[in-house]
Amino acid sequence: MIASLAPDRAALARETLAWCDAFWDDERALSWAPTGAGVGRVHLVPQSAWYAYGLLARGVGDDTSKAVRCLRALLELQYDEPGTAWHGSFARWAEAPHPAADAVMWEDYDPNWRQFLGTTFIALLQDFETTLGPALAGDMDRALRLTVEGEPDTRVPASYSNIALMKAFLAVEAGRRLGEESWIRRGEALANEIADGFEALGAFEEYNSPTYYGIDFHALALWGERSSSARLRDRGRALEAALWRDVARWYHAGLRNLCGPYSRTYGMDMTRYMALLGLQIWAGVGRDAAPVPGFAPAVDHGHDYFLGPLTAVLGARVPADARAALLDFPGPHGVAQRVAAKPRRHATGWLDDGLMIGAEQNETDAYAGWAQYVAASIHWKLPDGNVGWIAARSLGPPHGVAGEGTLSLEVRPGCELRLTIHAPEAAADAFAGRRWQLPGLQIDVSGELTMSSLARSGDVSKLVFQAAGNRAARVTLACVASNSPPYSK
């Protein structure tokens, strides 16, 4: 199967699969977690299923027998315990203890494994059912039944886009295979709700999320190319094109990164950690344009490479206008997007040569303190060609605006603004005054906020600002990158 793919997609499948081969445990018939997964010496569950797909797609030597053994091992990890919150899901990893009566979601079990494993089983059965044989296919069908029956109707709202998109596909296709018409209706209804929500705003609420956009595109490819439902096919193709066009507005091809703010992110530089959006860009416009960090054994979040072969097979349908922006930076421009209506969320960005700035206004503090949420950010090109960055997080509702070369942030009374700054080789006194001279970037700081602490560790500095008194305070960072002209004010 891999040999029949277009060259860039075939390279994506071969190279990611070759990297994943190093983590195969033949004794356990599962994949070890790479160091960059951050979960210790354990065997991975969804990633092992993705690897099994890759093995079958490659089909060389003992690949098929390894895949069959892997799938058998995964089936043993599924919970068949009606009445529990984890019924139909799978162990978080093979070594995870069985959930106790007081089990905590995300710590003791992960309900989303139903969607990750279920959609992968569907793809495996669509492409390799004859190879797997009737006995294993039948056991996988039974597993599919448990994934759908175990999922509460109300746990996954349409706004939880990456999981909701997979849930809709799984319900339709499992319903079709197993003769459950009510599942098909539920899946199509959820698909309509997701699509209607996106079309109302032009955005998913998990906005500008480099990892979860990759899952969104993965699920939309399943909708558009693999669904038996005409409704999912039509809406999936339209959503996929619309999401690519929005990504292209916020993507900086020169910096090879998506501009903030980030509703969810696991890093600040896509060339330094594995973000699934990078695999989708590779599949859609080619490896040379893709922001991927390379194949070091300990690459941060490297376990997402396991999705590479399935991403390559499904492909990515990038509209021509979006493709152009992913390949070459189109020039300085501002962007804005309403992310949610109630409570109101609004994102703004400014992208220029060697510089990009993003920020969010959010009426609530629901995301405050969450490591994955970056309310505002600055990226710029360092003198050595790498990327420097600033991540801004606030304790309280974030109120930020990105303008032409500027980032303005408001901090509510009693709240803090925390900046994490990656600026290699910055001078020891770089943040001592109101003009910060960083490698490749000058920042003039104005406003009423007072810096309350500064800590430095290697290339990273952490600054904390506080609002004094009983009123909100603002700080403005005016940025000039070394390779950008001064901005007219």
pLDDT value, residue 394: 84
> Residues 166, 187: contact at Cβ < 8 Å?
no
Rounded Cα distance, 485 and 346, in Å = 28
> Residues 35, 297: contact at Cβ < 8 Å?
yes
Tell me the CA distances in angstroms from 357 to 300, 306, 354, 391, one per residue in order: 24, 31, 11, 10
What does the DSSP 8-state code read for residue 140?
H
Rounded Cα distance, 46 and 117, in Å = 6
Of 256, 207, 222, give the one whose Cα is nearest residue 374: 207
Task: State in Å, rounded, how far the first CA of the chain is from the last one.
Answer: 56
Rounded Cα distance, 162 and 149, in Å = 20
Helical pair 320-327 and 230-250, crossing angle rounded to 10 deg: 30
Rounded Cα distance, 209 and 207, in Å = 6
The series of mean pLDDT values per 10 residues for the chain, 489 residues long, is 96 98 98 90 97 98 98 98 98 97 96 98 98 98 98 96 98 98 98 98 96 98 98 98 98 97 97 98 97 94 97 98 97 97 95 97 85 96 97 89 96 88 95 94 92 93 86 92 54
Rounded Cα distance, 461 and 474, in Å = 21
Rounded Cα distance, 415 and 53, in Å = 48
pLDDT value, residue 396: 81
Look up the pTM and report it. Answer: 0.96
Rounded Cα distance, 113 and 276, in Å = 17
pLDDT value, residue 242: 98
The runs of H, that is alpha helices, within 30-180 are: 46-58, 63-75, 113-132, 134-150, 161-178
Tokens, residue 315: 């492909």
DSSP states of 294-337 as a string? ---TT-BTGGGGGGHHHHHHH-----HHHHHHHHS---SEEEEE
Rounded Cα distance, 353 and 254, in Å = 8
> How many CB atoms are closer than 10 A to CB 322?
21
Strands 441-447, 450-457: parallel, antiparallel or unpaired by DSSP?
A: unpaired
Rounded Cα distance, 173 and 123, in Å = 10
Amino acid symbol at 476 = T
pLDDT value, residue 178: 98
> Residues 391, 463: contact at Cβ < 8 Å?
no
233 CB-side CA count, 13 A: 7
pLDDT value, residue 216: 98
Which residues, 6+ apart, have CB-to-CB distance to 88 below 8 Å?
A: 78, 79, 80, 114, 146, 147, 148, 149, 150, 151
Which residues, 6+ apart, have CB-to-CB distance to 160 below 8 Å?
A: 206
Rounded Cα distance, 256 and 290, in Å = 8
